[in-house]
Amino acid sequence: MTGDKLRVVAVTCAKNEGPFILEWIAYHRLIGFTDIVTFTNDCDDGTDDLLDRLDEMGLIRHLPNPRILNDKLRFQAAALRYASELREVRNADWRLSFDSDEFVNVTLGNGHVEDLVANSPDAQLISICQLQFGCAHRDAYERGLSIEQFTLHQSHTPAEGTKQRRDLERGLKTFIRADAPVVQWNNHLADLDPFRMQDTLWVYGQNRRAPEIVYQGNSKSLPAEGCYEVGQLNHYATRSRESFLAQSYRGNAVKPHTQADVKYWKRYNHNAECGSEITRYVPALRALLDEWLSDAELRRRQDVCEARHRTLIEKLKADPDYRRLYDRVTRLDQAQQAEKEPAE
């Protein structure tokens, strides 16, 4: 630890996340992230202006993605390589790279990051696994908190008899301690010094040792069994059906020329179980957001992001191609909901 207070830094890449990213930042400040570094790529919804204001207020560090300096399109890799040299990362006790639709949900103690790392005092790397949260059968985009609106998710345990790898294993993101022998920092995990690998403790769940395939950087997932024992990464990949249209339009924040489509919807729109434990933060989160939004300029920029999001949705619903996408995901979601309803 570099001081009396545990310093934990979050690093993320974002594109057109204006209606949602303020909640993400406030939530993670609440649970113990002392520093947040955001990189943005080609935003046109006001996200970059919103983040600039948060930077001016001293709440985050906002930077354009350094890939603008070259022709390479690996947004995430460029950002992490640059972030490694920033003071927020160099001075941190722990760091985590994750996406701005993922919420760290610690189920130990007070639910803070400090509780998670204190539970594994000898670990230099701690992985947590994604739990996919679907649209909760919501159609319209509405102003509000994602963690309160979207409470339906995939099952924690694999379906009986399943052989699907995505069900048997869950995607991971990894907290990295400052002294971990990292050669290269990646979004999901880290490449370790091969000569120090065996002396490095990498855990998940209730101090389960990560499999060798993860140590070697050859897997971005962990066995579902036991992976949620101390926390999870709530992944709000789809949000409402209307917002999904805007997500498809903007493309992927870290993989250029990649769009969310029907296949993506089928993969991430899970609404099997209800999990609302994260909503315990709602009162404190609302209070913090109210405090921040008392700044008139931040409020104005937040309103601009939300208005542009609504305008884009209406534009896309009038476009024949996006209307077809909207109609397809609507039918899929309604069929999924009907399967859950008991027969009369």
In tens, the pLDDT along 20-50 reads: 999 999 999 999 999 999 999 889 999 999 9
Helix crossing, 18-30 with 296-317: angle to 10°?
A: 130
Q: pLDDT band at residue 340, thresholds of 50, 70 and 90?
A: confident
The per-residue pLDDT for range 303-339, each reduced to its tens digit, is: 999 999 999 999 999 999 999 999 999 999 999 999 8
Look up the domain containing 134 and give its range.
Answer: 101-340
Domain count, the chain: 1
Whether 72 has a pLDDT exceeding 90, the answer reads no
What confidence score (pLDDT) does residue 148 get? 97
Residue 259 covered by a domain: yes
**pLDDT at position 70 over 70:** no
In a domain, 192, yes or no: yes
How far apart (Å, rounded) are the C-alpha atoms in residues 208 and 284? 32
CA atoms within a 13 Å half-sphere pointing along the CA-CB vector of 117:
21
Determine, yes or no, domain membership for 262.
yes
Position 70 in a domain: no
Model pTM above 0.85:
yes
Cα separation, 82 vs 65, in Å, equals: 9
Distant-in-sequence, close-in-space partners of 59: CB < 8 Å, separation ≥ 6: 25, 29, 36, 292
157 lies in a domain? yes
Residue 120 domain-assigned (yes or no): yes
Residue 326 inside a domain? The answer is: yes
Other Cβ atoms within 10 Å of 157 Cβ, number:
12
Helix (H) or strand (E) holding 324: helix 320-340
Q: Is the pLDDT of residue 71 over 70?
A: no
In a domain, 21, yes or no: no
Question: Where do the H-state alpha helices sit in 65-203?
Answer: 75-83, 87-90, 113-118, 146-149, 165-168
